[in-house]
Protein backbone atom coordinates (compact mmCIF):
# COMPACT_ATOMS: atom_id res chain seq x y z
CA UNK A 1 0.00 0.00 0.00
CA UNK A 2 1.60 3.18 -1.26
CA UNK A 3 0.86 6.86 -0.71
CA UNK A 4 0.39 8.35 -4.17
CA UNK A 5 0.08 12.06 -4.98
CA UNK A 6 -1.56 12.64 -8.38
CA UNK A 7 -1.72 15.95 -10.23
CA UNK A 8 -4.25 16.63 -13.00
CA UNK A 9 -3.96 19.74 -15.19
CA UNK A 10 -6.68 21.98 -16.55
CA UNK A 11 -7.02 20.13 -19.86
CA UNK A 12 -7.75 16.86 -18.00
CA UNK A 13 -10.67 18.47 -16.12
CA UNK A 14 -11.86 20.86 -18.84
CA UNK A 15 -15.54 19.81 -18.57
CA UNK A 16 -17.88 17.53 -16.63
CA UNK A 17 -16.90 14.54 -18.80
CA UNK A 18 -13.21 15.11 -18.14
CA UNK A 19 -13.86 15.41 -14.41
CA UNK A 20 -15.77 12.13 -14.40
CA UNK A 21 -13.00 10.38 -16.36
CA UNK A 22 -10.33 11.60 -13.92
CA UNK A 23 -12.58 10.60 -10.99
CA UNK A 24 -12.70 7.02 -12.31
CA UNK A 25 -8.92 6.88 -12.45
CA UNK A 26 -8.60 8.21 -8.90
CA UNK A 27 -11.23 5.80 -7.58
CA UNK A 28 -9.40 2.89 -9.26
CA UNK A 29 -6.10 3.95 -7.66
CA UNK A 30 -7.81 4.08 -4.26
CA UNK A 31 -9.56 0.73 -4.77
CA UNK A 32 -6.19 -0.82 -5.67
CA UNK A 33 -5.28 -0.19 -2.04
CA UNK A 34 -3.32 3.05 -2.31
CA UNK A 35 -3.68 6.16 -0.20
CA UNK A 36 -4.41 8.93 -2.68
CA UNK A 37 -3.91 12.69 -2.55
CA UNK A 38 -4.92 14.61 -5.68
CA UNK A 39 -3.82 18.08 -6.76
CA UNK A 40 -6.02 19.68 -9.40
CA UNK A 41 -5.78 22.79 -11.61
CA UNK A 42 -8.64 25.05 -12.70
CA UNK A 43 -10.92 23.72 -15.46
CA UNK A 44 -9.74 24.39 -19.01
CA UNK A 45 -9.77 28.10 -19.78
CA UNK A 46 -11.19 29.24 -16.42
CA UNK A 47 -8.07 31.14 -15.41
CA UNK A 48 -7.96 33.05 -18.72
CA UNK A 49 -11.66 33.88 -18.43
CA UNK A 50 -11.17 35.26 -14.92
CA UNK A 51 -8.19 37.31 -16.07
CA UNK A 52 -10.33 38.69 -18.87
CA UNK A 53 -13.03 39.72 -16.36
CA UNK A 54 -10.39 41.51 -14.29
CA UNK A 55 -9.17 43.36 -17.40
CA UNK A 56 -12.72 44.53 -18.05
CA UNK A 57 -12.81 46.08 -14.59
CA UNK A 58 -9.36 47.63 -14.37
CA UNK A 59 -6.16 47.65 -16.43
CA UNK A 60 -4.00 47.23 -13.31
CA UNK A 61 -5.67 44.92 -10.79
CA UNK A 62 -4.03 44.77 -7.34
CA UNK A 63 -2.16 41.46 -7.10
CA UNK A 64 -3.78 40.51 -3.79
CA UNK A 65 -7.25 40.77 -5.32
CA UNK A 66 -6.14 39.05 -8.52
CA UNK A 67 -4.97 36.08 -6.44
CA UNK A 68 -8.34 35.86 -4.68
CA UNK A 69 -10.06 35.99 -8.07
CA UNK A 70 -7.89 33.34 -9.74
CA UNK A 71 -8.08 30.87 -6.84
CA UNK A 72 -11.84 30.64 -7.46
CA UNK A 73 -10.92 28.45 -10.46
CA UNK A 74 -9.39 25.63 -8.40
CA UNK A 75 -12.19 25.97 -5.86
CA UNK A 76 -14.64 25.03 -8.61
CA UNK A 77 -12.61 22.14 -10.07
CA UNK A 78 -11.66 20.61 -6.73
CA UNK A 79 -15.20 20.52 -5.34
CA UNK A 80 -16.61 19.11 -8.60
CA UNK A 81 -13.90 16.44 -8.64
CA UNK A 82 -14.65 15.49 -5.02
CA UNK A 83 -18.35 15.20 -5.91
CA UNK A 84 -17.59 12.98 -8.91
CA UNK A 85 -15.41 10.64 -6.81
CA UNK A 86 -18.06 10.39 -4.06
CA UNK A 87 -20.55 9.56 -6.82
CA UNK A 88 -18.43 6.45 -7.58
CA UNK A 89 -18.73 5.29 -3.98
CA UNK A 90 -15.26 6.38 -2.89
CA UNK A 91 -15.14 8.99 -0.10
CA UNK A 92 -13.37 12.19 -1.09
CA UNK A 93 -13.00 15.67 0.40
CA UNK A 94 -11.60 18.82 -1.15
CA UNK A 95 -9.27 21.32 0.50
CA UNK A 96 -8.06 24.80 -0.40
CA UNK A 97 -4.34 25.54 -0.35
CA UNK A 98 -4.85 27.07 3.07
CA UNK A 99 -6.73 24.04 4.44
CA UNK A 100 -4.02 21.77 3.01
CA UNK A 101 -1.35 23.76 4.87
CA UNK A 102 0.46 25.21 1.85
CA UNK A 103 2.26 28.19 3.43
CA UNK A 104 3.88 30.72 1.08
CA UNK A 105 5.67 34.03 1.20
CA UNK A 106 3.60 37.16 0.51
CA UNK A 107 4.68 37.75 -3.11
CA UNK A 108 1.22 37.74 -4.68
CA UNK A 109 1.06 36.29 -8.19
CA UNK A 110 4.28 34.30 -7.89
CA UNK A 111 4.52 33.23 -4.27
CA UNK A 112 7.06 30.61 -3.23
CA UNK A 113 6.18 27.78 -0.88
CA UNK A 114 7.97 28.21 2.46
CA UNK A 115 6.37 25.30 4.32
CA UNK A 116 3.84 22.52 3.93
CA UNK A 117 1.94 21.41 7.07
CA UNK A 118 -0.63 18.96 5.69
CA UNK A 119 -2.28 17.83 8.96
CA UNK A 120 -5.78 17.73 7.50
CA UNK A 121 -4.61 15.90 4.38
CA UNK A 122 -2.88 13.27 6.50
CA UNK A 123 -5.98 12.84 8.68
CA UNK A 124 -8.14 12.47 5.60
CA UNK A 125 -6.05 9.72 4.00
CA UNK A 126 -5.71 7.96 7.37
CA UNK A 127 -9.51 7.74 7.42
CA UNK A 128 -9.32 6.00 4.06
CA UNK A 129 -10.62 9.03 2.15
CA UNK A 130 -9.20 10.68 -0.96
CA UNK A 131 -7.98 14.24 -0.36
CA UNK A 132 -8.40 16.67 -3.25
CA UNK A 133 -6.19 19.76 -2.97
CA UNK A 134 -6.40 22.99 -4.95
CA UNK A 135 -3.22 23.47 -6.96
CA UNK A 136 -1.51 26.79 -7.67
CA UNK A 137 -2.51 28.40 -4.35
CA UNK A 138 -1.35 28.90 -0.79
CA UNK A 139 -1.75 31.22 2.14
CA UNK A 140 0.61 33.61 3.90
CA UNK A 141 1.40 32.65 7.47
CA UNK A 142 1.32 36.16 8.92
CA UNK A 143 -1.77 37.69 7.32
CA UNK A 144 -3.74 34.61 6.25
CA UNK A 145 -4.01 36.08 2.75
CA UNK A 146 -4.52 33.91 -0.31
CA UNK A 147 -1.59 33.69 -2.76
CA UNK A 148 -0.97 32.06 -6.11
CA UNK A 149 2.25 30.32 -7.11
CA UNK A 150 2.50 31.56 -10.71
CA UNK A 151 3.35 29.45 -13.78
CA UNK A 152 3.61 25.72 -13.15
CA UNK A 153 2.11 26.28 -9.73
CA UNK A 154 0.00 23.13 -9.62
CA UNK A 155 2.98 20.88 -10.47
CA UNK A 156 4.85 22.57 -7.64
CA UNK A 157 1.93 22.11 -5.21
CA UNK A 158 1.88 18.40 -6.04
CA UNK A 159 5.61 17.85 -5.56
CA UNK A 160 5.68 19.95 -2.37
CA UNK A 161 2.74 18.00 -0.92
CA UNK A 162 4.39 14.71 -1.90
CA UNK A 163 7.52 15.87 -0.03
CA UNK A 164 5.51 17.03 3.01
CA UNK A 165 3.61 13.74 3.15
CA UNK A 166 6.68 11.61 2.35
CA UNK A 167 4.70 10.10 -0.54
CA UNK A 168 6.02 7.12 -2.48
CA UNK A 169 5.54 8.83 -5.81
CA UNK A 170 4.20 12.07 -7.29
CA UNK A 171 2.35 11.34 -10.54
CA UNK A 172 2.01 14.30 -12.90
CA UNK A 173 -0.79 13.55 -15.38
CA UNK A 174 -0.64 15.26 -18.73
CA UNK A 175 -2.00 14.83 -22.26
CA UNK A 176 1.16 13.14 -23.57
CA UNK A 177 2.77 9.82 -22.62
CA UNK A 178 5.74 11.32 -20.80
CA UNK A 179 8.96 13.19 -21.57
CA UNK A 180 10.22 12.63 -25.12
CA UNK A 181 13.70 12.73 -26.66
CA UNK A 182 12.36 15.59 -28.81
CA UNK A 183 9.01 17.17 -29.68
CA UNK A 184 7.17 14.41 -31.63
CA UNK A 185 5.52 17.07 -33.80
CA UNK A 186 8.97 17.96 -35.15
CA UNK A 187 10.69 14.59 -34.83
CA UNK A 188 8.18 11.80 -35.56
CA UNK A 189 10.81 9.23 -34.51
CA UNK A 190 11.13 10.76 -31.03
CA UNK A 191 11.08 8.19 -28.22
CA UNK A 192 9.55 8.38 -24.77
CA UNK A 193 12.26 8.61 -22.08
CA UNK A 194 11.64 5.92 -19.44
CA UNK A 195 13.94 7.26 -16.75
CA UNK A 196 15.76 10.56 -16.31
CA UNK A 197 17.63 12.33 -13.51
CA UNK A 198 16.43 15.56 -11.88
CA UNK A 199 19.43 17.37 -13.36
CA UNK A 200 18.70 16.31 -16.92
CA UNK A 201 15.00 17.08 -16.47
CA UNK A 202 15.92 20.53 -15.12
CA UNK A 203 18.04 21.25 -18.18
CA UNK A 204 15.29 20.00 -20.51
CA UNK A 205 12.63 22.06 -18.72
CA UNK A 206 14.83 25.15 -18.75
CA UNK A 207 15.57 24.60 -22.45
CA UNK A 208 11.97 24.60 -23.62
CA UNK A 209 10.50 21.16 -22.82
CA UNK A 210 7.17 22.17 -21.30
CA UNK A 211 5.83 18.85 -20.02
CA UNK A 212 6.94 19.52 -16.43
CA UNK A 213 7.35 22.89 -14.72
CA UNK A 214 10.93 23.83 -13.89
CA UNK A 215 10.09 24.83 -10.32
CA UNK A 216 8.48 21.49 -9.52
CA UNK A 217 11.61 19.66 -10.72
CA UNK A 218 13.79 21.89 -8.52
CA UNK A 219 11.52 21.13 -5.57
CA UNK A 220 11.57 17.42 -6.34
CA UNK A 221 15.35 17.35 -6.51
CA UNK A 222 15.76 19.24 -3.23
CA UNK A 223 13.48 16.85 -1.32
CA UNK A 224 14.13 13.67 -3.32
CA UNK A 225 10.51 13.21 -4.48
CA UNK A 226 10.18 10.51 -7.18
CA UNK A 227 8.14 12.07 -10.02
CA UNK A 228 6.26 10.07 -12.62
CA UNK A 229 5.13 12.06 -15.68
CA UNK A 230 2.37 10.09 -17.45
CA UNK A 231 -0.71 10.32 -19.64
CA UNK A 232 -4.20 10.64 -18.16
CA UNK A 233 -5.48 8.84 -21.28
CA UNK A 234 -3.47 5.63 -20.85
CA UNK A 235 -2.39 3.15 -18.16
CA UNK A 236 1.15 2.88 -19.56
CA UNK A 237 4.14 4.00 -17.55
CA UNK A 238 5.44 7.42 -18.52
CA UNK A 239 8.76 8.98 -17.50
CA UNK A 240 10.26 8.51 -14.04
CA UNK A 241 12.28 11.46 -12.76
CA UNK A 242 14.56 10.70 -9.81
CA UNK A 243 18.02 11.22 -8.34
CA UNK A 244 19.51 8.06 -9.80
CA UNK A 245 17.37 7.28 -12.80
CA UNK A 246 18.90 3.86 -13.41
CA UNK A 247 19.36 2.75 -9.83
CA UNK A 248 17.21 1.71 -6.95
CA UNK A 249 14.45 4.27 -7.20
CA UNK A 250 13.61 3.31 -10.73
CA UNK A 251 13.83 -0.41 -9.91
CA UNK A 252 11.44 0.01 -7.00
CA UNK A 253 8.79 1.70 -9.10
CA UNK A 254 9.29 -0.50 -12.13
CA UNK A 255 6.72 -3.15 -12.89
CA UNK A 256 8.72 -6.44 -13.02
CA UNK A 257 6.12 -7.95 -15.35
CA UNK A 258 6.98 -5.34 -17.96
CA UNK A 259 8.91 -7.26 -20.66
CA UNK A 260 11.06 -4.20 -21.36
CA UNK A 261 12.09 -3.83 -17.74
CA UNK A 262 15.05 -6.18 -17.26
CA UNK A 263 16.82 -4.97 -20.34
CA UNK A 264 16.43 -1.33 -19.42
CA UNK A 265 17.62 -1.92 -15.87
CA UNK A 266 20.95 -3.43 -16.91
CA UNK A 267 21.43 -0.93 -19.71
CA UNK A 268 23.99 1.78 -19.12
CA UNK A 269 22.65 5.27 -18.92
CA UNK A 270 22.59 6.67 -22.44
CA UNK A 271 24.85 9.60 -23.19
CA UNK A 272 22.05 11.89 -24.33
CA UNK A 273 18.57 12.24 -22.84
CA UNK A 274 17.02 14.39 -25.47
CA UNK A 275 16.89 17.44 -27.69
CA UNK A 276 14.86 20.41 -26.47
CA UNK A 277 13.96 23.48 -28.47
CA UNK A 278 12.64 26.92 -27.66
CA UNK A 279 11.16 29.49 -30.02
CA UNK A 280 10.11 31.94 -27.33
CA UNK A 281 13.31 33.94 -27.01
CA UNK A 282 14.66 37.03 -28.74
CA UNK A 283 18.20 38.32 -29.17
CA UNK A 284 19.46 41.82 -28.42
CA UNK A 285 22.83 42.94 -29.76
CA UNK A 286 24.55 46.01 -28.35
CA UNK A 287 26.68 47.19 -31.28
CA UNK A 288 29.97 49.11 -30.93
CA UNK A 289 30.52 48.91 -27.18
CA UNK A 290 33.79 50.55 -26.00
CA UNK A 291 35.99 47.65 -24.90
CA UNK A 292 36.86 49.00 -21.44
CA UNK A 293 36.47 47.22 -18.10
CA UNK A 294 33.05 47.49 -16.46
CA UNK A 295 30.87 48.24 -19.48
CA UNK A 296 29.52 44.67 -19.79
CA UNK A 297 28.77 44.66 -16.06
CA UNK A 298 26.92 47.98 -16.39
CA UNK A 299 24.88 46.75 -19.37
CA UNK A 300 23.65 43.61 -17.60
CA UNK A 301 23.06 45.48 -14.37
CA UNK A 302 20.67 47.77 -16.26
CA UNK A 303 18.95 44.91 -18.13
CA UNK A 304 18.47 42.95 -14.91
CA UNK A 305 17.17 46.08 -13.22
CA UNK A 306 14.48 46.37 -15.91
CA UNK A 307 13.08 43.03 -14.77
CA UNK A 308 14.14 41.14 -17.91
CA UNK A 309 15.48 37.58 -17.57
CA UNK A 310 18.77 37.09 -19.41
CA UNK A 311 19.53 33.64 -20.83
CA UNK A 312 22.62 33.27 -23.09
CA UNK A 313 25.34 35.90 -23.41
CA UNK A 314 28.01 36.18 -26.11
CA UNK A 315 30.70 38.83 -26.39
CA UNK A 316 32.69 38.93 -29.63
CA UNK A 317 36.41 39.59 -29.46
CA UNK A 318 37.28 43.23 -29.77
CA UNK A 319 38.08 44.45 -33.27
CA UNK A 320 41.68 45.63 -32.77
CA UNK A 321 41.68 48.74 -34.93
CA UNK A 322 38.51 50.26 -33.40
CA UNK A 323 38.64 49.24 -29.70
CA UNK A 324 34.95 48.42 -30.02
CA UNK A 325 33.10 45.13 -29.40
CA UNK A 326 29.56 43.71 -29.81
CA UNK A 327 27.62 42.10 -26.94
CA UNK A 328 24.66 39.83 -27.69
CA UNK A 329 22.26 38.15 -25.29
CA UNK A 330 18.98 36.27 -25.45
CA UNK A 331 15.90 36.85 -23.31
CA UNK A 332 12.20 35.92 -23.29
CA UNK A 333 10.40 37.78 -26.09
CA UNK A 334 7.99 39.26 -23.57
CA UNK A 335 10.89 41.02 -21.83
CA UNK A 336 12.12 42.64 -25.04
CA UNK A 337 10.43 46.02 -24.63
CA UNK A 338 11.59 46.73 -21.07
CA UNK A 339 15.17 45.66 -21.86
CA UNK A 340 15.38 47.78 -25.03
CA UNK A 341 13.91 50.77 -23.17
CA UNK A 342 16.39 50.39 -20.31
CA UNK A 343 19.37 50.08 -22.68
CA UNK A 344 18.33 53.07 -24.80
CA UNK A 345 18.35 55.17 -21.64
CA UNK A 346 22.07 54.47 -21.06
CA UNK A 347 23.26 54.80 -24.67
CA UNK A 348 25.16 58.05 -24.08
CA UNK A 349 26.48 56.91 -20.70
CA UNK A 350 27.98 53.71 -22.21
CA UNK A 351 28.69 55.22 -25.60
CA UNK A 352 27.61 52.26 -27.77
CA UNK A 353 26.63 52.76 -31.41
CA UNK A 354 23.22 51.08 -31.66
CA UNK A 355 20.88 48.31 -30.55
CA UNK A 356 19.61 45.42 -32.69
CA UNK A 357 16.52 43.41 -31.75
CA UNK A 358 15.91 40.02 -33.36
CA UNK A 359 12.96 37.77 -32.50
CA UNK A 360 13.51 35.36 -35.40
CA UNK A 361 15.83 33.05 -33.47
CA UNK A 362 15.50 29.49 -32.25
CA UNK A 363 17.40 27.65 -29.53
CA UNK A 364 18.33 23.97 -29.64
CA UNK A 365 19.60 22.25 -26.48
CA UNK A 366 21.17 18.82 -26.25
CA UNK A 367 20.84 17.42 -22.71
CA UNK A 368 22.40 14.35 -21.14
CA UNK A 369 24.23 13.46 -17.95
CA UNK A 370 26.38 11.11 -20.02
CA UNK A 371 28.02 13.91 -21.98
CA UNK A 372 30.09 14.86 -18.91
CA UNK A 373 32.31 11.80 -19.45
CA UNK A 374 32.05 11.55 -23.22
CA UNK A 375 34.32 13.87 -25.18
CA UNK A 376 33.35 14.79 -28.67
CA UNK A 377 29.66 15.46 -28.00
CA UNK A 378 29.91 19.10 -29.00
CA UNK A 379 32.00 18.22 -32.09
CA UNK A 380 29.31 15.75 -33.20
CA UNK A 381 26.57 18.35 -32.58
CA UNK A 382 28.31 21.07 -34.58
CA UNK A 383 29.10 18.55 -37.33
CA UNK A 384 25.46 17.51 -37.65
CA UNK A 385 24.37 21.13 -38.02
CA UNK A 386 27.15 21.87 -40.54
CA UNK A 387 26.16 18.83 -42.65
CA UNK A 388 22.57 20.16 -42.69
CA UNK A 389 23.78 23.61 -43.73
CA UNK A 390 22.61 25.36 -40.55
CA UNK A 391 24.50 28.36 -39.22
CA UNK A 392 25.20 28.63 -35.46
CA UNK A 393 24.82 32.16 -34.06
CA UNK A 394 25.49 31.62 -30.35
CA UNK A 395 26.72 28.76 -28.16
CA UNK A 396 26.30 28.15 -24.44
CA UNK A 397 27.19 25.07 -22.41
CA UNK A 398 26.77 23.51 -18.98
CA UNK A 399 28.15 20.18 -17.77
CA UNK A 400 25.16 18.26 -19.09
CA UNK A 401 23.81 20.60 -21.78
CA UNK A 402 24.92 22.30 -24.99
CA UNK A 403 22.67 25.03 -26.43
CA UNK A 404 22.98 26.73 -29.80
CA UNK A 405 21.03 29.61 -31.32
CA UNK A 406 20.01 29.35 -34.98
CA UNK A 407 17.61 31.13 -37.31
CA UNK A 408 14.02 30.31 -36.24
CA UNK A 409 13.35 28.89 -39.72
CA UNK A 410 16.21 26.40 -39.34
CA UNK A 411 15.19 25.13 -35.92
CA UNK A 412 13.04 22.14 -36.96
CA UNK A 413 15.71 20.84 -39.36
CA UNK A 414 18.33 21.34 -36.67
CA UNK A 415 16.34 19.34 -34.09
CA UNK A 416 15.82 16.46 -36.54
CA UNK A 417 19.48 16.41 -37.61
CA UNK A 418 20.80 16.36 -34.04
CA UNK A 419 18.21 13.80 -32.85
CA UNK A 420 19.32 11.50 -35.63
CA UNK A 421 23.05 12.11 -35.22
CA UNK A 422 22.92 10.98 -31.58
CA UNK A 423 20.99 7.77 -32.46
CA UNK A 424 17.89 8.88 -30.56
CA UNK A 425 15.47 7.89 -33.35
CA UNK A 426 13.20 5.00 -32.42
CA UNK A 427 13.67 1.77 -34.38
CA UNK A 428 10.02 1.95 -35.30
CA UNK A 429 8.20 5.25 -35.27
CA UNK A 430 6.00 4.31 -32.32
CA UNK A 431 6.14 7.85 -30.99
CA UNK A 432 3.94 9.26 -33.73
CA UNK A 433 0.97 7.25 -32.49
CA UNK A 434 1.10 9.22 -29.24
CA UNK A 435 -0.02 12.23 -31.23
CA UNK A 436 0.84 14.42 -28.26
CA UNK A 437 2.51 17.77 -28.19
CA UNK A 438 5.67 16.60 -26.47
CA UNK A 439 5.88 20.03 -24.91
* Residue 377 annotated as lining a ligand binding site: no
Looking at residue 180, the DSSP 8-state letter turns out to be B
Closest CA to 394 of 305, 281, 273: 281
Stretch of 16-24, 301-309, 408-416, 418-426 lying at the interface with its own copies (CB under 8 A): 16-24
Is residue 75 near its own copies by the rule CB under 8 A? yes
User: In whole angstroms, what separates CA 380 from the centre of its chain?
Assistant: 27
Q: State how far the alpha carbon of 164 is from the alpha carbons of 26, 250, 352, 357, 365, in Å.
A: 20, 21, 52, 45, 33
Is residue 57 near its own copies by the rule CB under 8 A? yes
* Residue 9 annotated as lining a ligand binding site: yes
Report in angstroms how near the CB of residue 30 gets to its own copies at its nearest: 16
Q: Which of residues 92-121 bind its own copies (CB under 8 A)?
A: 93-94, 96, 99
Binding its own copies by CB under 8 A: which of 11, 20, 270, 333? 20
Is residue 227 near its own copies by the rule CB under 8 A? no
* Residue 8 annotated as lining a ligand binding site: yes
Is residue 68 near its own copies by the rule CB under 8 A? yes
Is residue 235 near its own copies by the rule CB under 8 A? no
**CA dist., res. 431 & res. 421, Å (int):** 18
Which of residues 59 and 375 has its CB atom nearest to its own copies in the complex? 59
Is residue 437 near its own copies by the rule CB under 8 A? no
**CA dist., res. 355 & res. 288, Å (int):** 9
Binding its own copies by CB under 8 A: which of 12, 34, 71, 104? 71
**CA dist., res. 312 & res. 404, Å (int):** 9
Residues 330 and 311: beta-carbon distance below 8 Å: yes
Q: Integer distance in angstroms from the first to the last C-alpha of the chain?
A: 32
Is residue 229 near its own copies by the rule CB under 8 A? no
Which of residues 71 and 207 has its CB atom nearest to its own copies in the complex? 71
**CA dist., res. 91 & res. 145, Å (int):** 29
**CA dist., res. 391 & res. 406, Å (int):** 6
Binding site per annotation, positions for ATP: 7-10, 174-175, 185, 210-211
> Contact positions toward its own copies, by CB under 8 A?
16, 19-20, 50, 53-54, 56-62, 64-66, 68-69, 71-73, 75-76, 78-80, 82-84, 86-87, 93-94, 96, 99, 144
Amino acid sequence: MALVVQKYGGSSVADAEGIKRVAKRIAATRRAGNDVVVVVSAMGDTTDELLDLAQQVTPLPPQRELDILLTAGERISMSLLAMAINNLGVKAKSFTGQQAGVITDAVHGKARIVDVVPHRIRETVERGQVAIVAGFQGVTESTNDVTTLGRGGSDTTAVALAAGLDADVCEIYTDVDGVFTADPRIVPAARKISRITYEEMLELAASGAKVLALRSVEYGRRYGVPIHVRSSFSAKDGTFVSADAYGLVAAATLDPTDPEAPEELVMEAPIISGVAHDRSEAKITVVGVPDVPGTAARIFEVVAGSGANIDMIVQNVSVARTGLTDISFTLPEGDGTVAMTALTAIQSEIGFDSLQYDDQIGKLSLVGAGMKSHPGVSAKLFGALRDTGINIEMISTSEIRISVVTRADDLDDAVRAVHSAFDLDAADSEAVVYGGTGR
